[in-house]
A and B are shown apart, each in its own frame.
Chain A
Amino acid sequence: MNKLPVTLIVNGREYKLTVDANERLLDTLRLQLRLTGTKEGCGVGECGACSVILDGQLVNSCMVLTAQCDGARVETVEGLGTATKLHPLQQAFIDYNAVQCGFCTPGMLMAAKALLDKNPDPSEAEIRQGLSGVLCRCTGYKQIADAVKAAAREEK
């Protein structure tokens, strides 16, 4: 097997890994690093459950080969907050009932974080745009958009 050395900085911590050429970033995160917060929904870019922030950009981790990411910084939902100190977005998702089954939540949170990192005071339309690459099958999008708006106010 053609194993490749790859260095990833995930949530601020450096990992030296060996990966297969066809290994997706999603698989490296979930199977090698056991960071299972990032979910696989569709595997083909449609659902956004696998969204992470790669070098500051929101991406679907099922659409990226880990080999393409040597030296890159990756932010996953595990890096947002801790059980005792939630990120304002996480708290807002709870406060606004923006979670039902929770499968889309990591992707929604990362999409929202990527949006607020670039645009701390987004309009309703910009929030919808920012979240448009993540599908939710149960909550409905209103609570989620409201939570993001509230978190933006909170962070100001």
Chain B
Amino acid sequence: MTTYFAPSTLSEAVAYIHENQTAKIIAGGTDLLVKRYEELDSMTGFMDISHLAELKNIKTGEEVQIGAMVTHGEIAGHPWLLQHVPLLCQGAAAVGGPQIRNRGTLGGNLANASPAADLAPPLIVLGAVAELAGPQHQVPLEEFFSGPGKTIMQPNQIITGVKFTKPAANQGWAYLKLGKRKAMAIATASVAVLVAVEDGQLTDLRICLGSVAPVPSRAKKTEELLRGQRLDSLELAAAQAQLQAEISPIDDIRGSAEYRRQAAGPLFRRALLQAIKNAGVEPDA
């Protein structure tokens, strides 16, 4: 007999999941109800966190904090985020269609730990930290994923949100997603790039790819190769080759490993050039 419990505070939620570890947390349900479609009748129970007001806030400023229950639609349309962190809005806007964006949440996207999760690469290049409750813990998002569908979370932990520092004015960004169609497609490959540009020099950059490794992954050797290069003499071909050597894609229904490796190169190159173009340019409010 399936049970249902909707805590009204975070501490109530933490206590309940501690006592009832077989209950599944449900937020927007857009991953859970797909995976559990066949087993809906045999599930032990749900803990519904979709009404937890504490997890629905977006805190703006030098430090940005986004609650786990914030939906993709809310991120994609948030005026302050659109102006200051458009990279993240781009990631959120790339998720599913309107129905999915209206329900699907940041917390669910991360907890579900798909290598294709559209919020992961943007958040990782932003240097985001995932905040967990019960036991409380903060972990760089980069270290949060441990395999397809797997995270370092304990069964009694809840993601409460993420936080990161607002990108500086000299930083540029891009998120590109390759899918079978524009809407409703899970990424075959995706790439987020964040660069810092000073006096014609690429002083710093972070690259994170989705769907080309068991978890969303930084391309650190490619970053290293490009870091410090002058914009007028970027070694793009070498960087692209390094990136292709660095990833470990697999064959699945959305594409073969070989296709992914081929496609990731130019996708990254385009993202890098777009990010550089965006650097220092204040996006229209």
**How big is chain A's contact interface, by range?**
20 to 34
Min CB gap A44→B, angstroms? 5
Which residue from A62, A65, A68, A133 sits with its C-beta under 8 Å from B97? Answer: A133
Q: A1-45: which residues lie under 8 A (CB-CB) from chain B?
A: 1-2, 4, 20-22, 24, 43-45
Q: Is the CB of A21 within 8 A of B34?
A: no
- Additional A-B contacts beyond A22-B43, A45-B100, A129-B98 (6; CB < 8 A): A21-B4, A21-B46, A44-B34, A45-B30, A60-B103, A65-B33
Is A51 interfacial (CB-CB < 8 Å)?
yes
Is B26 interfacial (CB-CB < 8 Å)?
yes
Chain B residues, CB < 8 A from A132: 97-98, 182-184
Chain B residues, CB < 8 A from A43: 37
B interface, CB within 8 angstroms of A:
1-4, 6, 26, 28-30, 33-34, 37, 40-41, 43, 45-46, 48, 50-51, 73, 96-100, 102-103, 182-184
Q: Is the CB of B99 within 8 A of A21?
A: no
Count of chain A to chain B residue pairs whose CB atoms are closer than 8 Å in the complex: 94
User: Known contacts A2-B3, A65-B46, A67-B4; is A24 also within 8 Å of B33 by CB?
Assistant: yes
Chain A residues, CB < 8 A from B40: 22, 24
Could you list 30 A-B pairs, sorted by A, with CB under 8 Å?
Answer: A2-B2, A2-B3, A2-B4, A21-B45, A22-B46, A24-B33, A44-B33, A44-B34, A45-B30, A45-B33, A45-B34, A51-B99, A57-B102, A57-B103, A58-B98, A60-B30, A60-B100, A63-B29, A63-B30, A63-B33, A65-B29, A65-B48, A67-B48, A68-B29, A68-B50, A111-B98, A129-B98, A129-B183, A132-B97, A133-B98
Pairs of residues from A and B, 10 with the lowest C-beta to C-beta distance, nearest first: A133-B97, A132-B183, A21-B4, A21-B2, A57-B102, A133-B99, A22-B2, A132-B97, A44-B34, A60-B99
- Give the complex CA separation of A44 and B33 in angstroms: 7
- Give the complex CA separation of A58 and B101 in angstroms: 9
Min CB gap B90→A, angstroms? 14
Q: Is the CB of A22 within 8 A of B98?
A: no
Is A117 interfacial (CB-CB < 8 Å)?
no
Q: Is the CB of A68 within 8 A of B48?
A: yes
Chain B residues, CB < 8 A from A115: 98
Min CB gap B178→A, angstroms? 17
Is A64 interfacial (CB-CB < 8 Å)?
yes
- Give the complex CA separation of A20 and B48 in angstroms: 14
Chain A residues, CB < 8 A from B28: 63
- Give the complex CA separation of A126 and B35 in angstroms: 31
Is A106 interfacial (CB-CB < 8 Å)?
no
Q: Is the CB of B96 within 8 A of A21?
A: no
